[in-house]
Chain A
Amino acid sequence: MMIVLSSDTVRIVKELDMVVFRNRLKEFAVKIGMGLVNQTKLITAASELSRNMLRYAGGGVVLIEIINGQRQNGLRVTFTDTGPGIPDIKEAMKDGFSTGKSLGLGLPGAKRLVSDFEIKSTVGKGTTITITKWKNG
């Protein structure tokens, strides 16, 4: 069973919002006593996903939740945008795939850095990505 202990939302519509969001996420990670390496991995993954949201969907909303499950606390972070969506998720998740002439590291890299990664996207409707990092995971 999974219980949500506390939550907050952050809107991301400009670059500086990413800084605010990363700091907020850091506060949550510190609050549950997450170790520095896991904190760094989570915030780095979240930084990638918030930039994608800004760059490809013109912004969106992030929900940060402290959850309890698997006998420990963790953070669940959900990125929701109403942008163009991703036509081929399997392709987008591959290292090196980019429509933005970039390295194509964001999505696959973020997945490697967290405990759980879920992506749902509908062309023309938007994209929702949920990542979870357990305190000790």
Chain B
Amino acid sequence: MDKIPILKIGHFLMVAIQVDLYDRLALNLEADLVQAVSKTSAKGVLIDISAVSIVDSFMGRILGNIAGMSKVLDADTVIVGMQPAVAITLVELGLPLKGVQTALNVEKGMELLQKKIKIVDEEAFDDDSTLQ
């Protein structure tokens, strides 16, 4: 059975989807990623879909699920590299990927996630200082 590798980079998990996704493979990715977030306490998940030429309602829903479940586990999800034709098609299909953040490329996506954990760190620091 095919598997999509999940890389750990610092506080983040990264996945680059390089193959044609069929439904079972997408479902496995969802399960594996959520499990990896929980196991590693990752603070962010970055999914590179620049090589993906078709996102239909099933795949779109999986991306939404990953973001939703990761959020519960305190990790932000960023989808990077969505091809313009895919973005246009998703809107017309009627699936606007609510609650899923997007960025142009891996670099921008990483910046976005990094900013997020910085803000969280600072807030935590503020809380500490008011306690003392």
**How many angstroms from the CA of A97 to the CA of B95 in the assembled complex?**
14
**Residues of chain B lying within 8 A (CB to CB) of residue A102:** 57, 61
Q: Which residues on the A side are within 8 Å of B94 (C-beta)?
A: 95, 105, 108-109, 112
Residue of B nearest to A35 (CB): B85
CA A47 to CA B61, docked complex, whole Å: 14
Within 8 Å by CB of B57, from A26, A37, A39, A105, lies A105
Interface residues of B: mostly helix, strand, loop or mixed? helix
- Kindly list chain B residues whose C-beta atoms are within 8 Å of the C-beta of A36: 85
| Bound: A40/B15 CA distance, A | 23
Task: Tell me if B93 and A112 are in contact (CB < 8 A).
Answer: yes
Q: Judge whether A113 and B92 touch: CB under 8 Å.
A: yes
With A16-B22, A19-B20, A40-B86 known to touch, is A103 a contact of B57 (CB < 8 Å)? yes
> From residue 11 to 31 of chain B, which have CB atoms closer than 8 A to chain A?
20, 22-24
Residues of B with C-beta under 8 A to A109: 57, 92-95
Check: B121 CB closer than 8 A to any chain A CB: no
User: How far does the Cβ of B132 sit from chain A's closest Cβ, in whole Å?
Assistant: 49
Per the bound structure, the CA–CA distance linking A35 and B40 in Å amounts to 43
CB 8 Å contact bits of A96-123 with B (1 = contact, 0 = none)? 0000001101101110110000000000
Q: How many A-B residue pairs have CB under 8 A?
A: 69
Task: Give 9 CB contacts A-B under 8 Å.
Answer: A41-B88, A41-B89, A41-B92, A44-B89, A51-B56, A106-B57, A109-B93, A113-B89, A113-B93
Contacts of A44 in B (CB 8 A): 54-56, 89, 93
- The yes or no answer to A62 lying at the interface (CB within 8 A) is no
Number of interface residues of A (CB under 8 A): 27
Q: Is the CB of B89 within 8 A of A22?
A: no
Closest to B21 in A: A19
B58 at the interface (CB under 8 A from A): yes
List, in ascending order, chain B residues with CB within 8 A of A18's CB.
Answer: 22-23
Most central of B22, B84, B86, B95 by chain A CB within 10 Å:
B22
- B53, B84, B89: which has the most chain A beta carbons within 10 Å? B89
* B95 close to A103 (CB less than 8 A): yes
Asked if A103 and B61 make an inter-chain contact with CB atoms under 8 angstroms apart, the answer reads yes
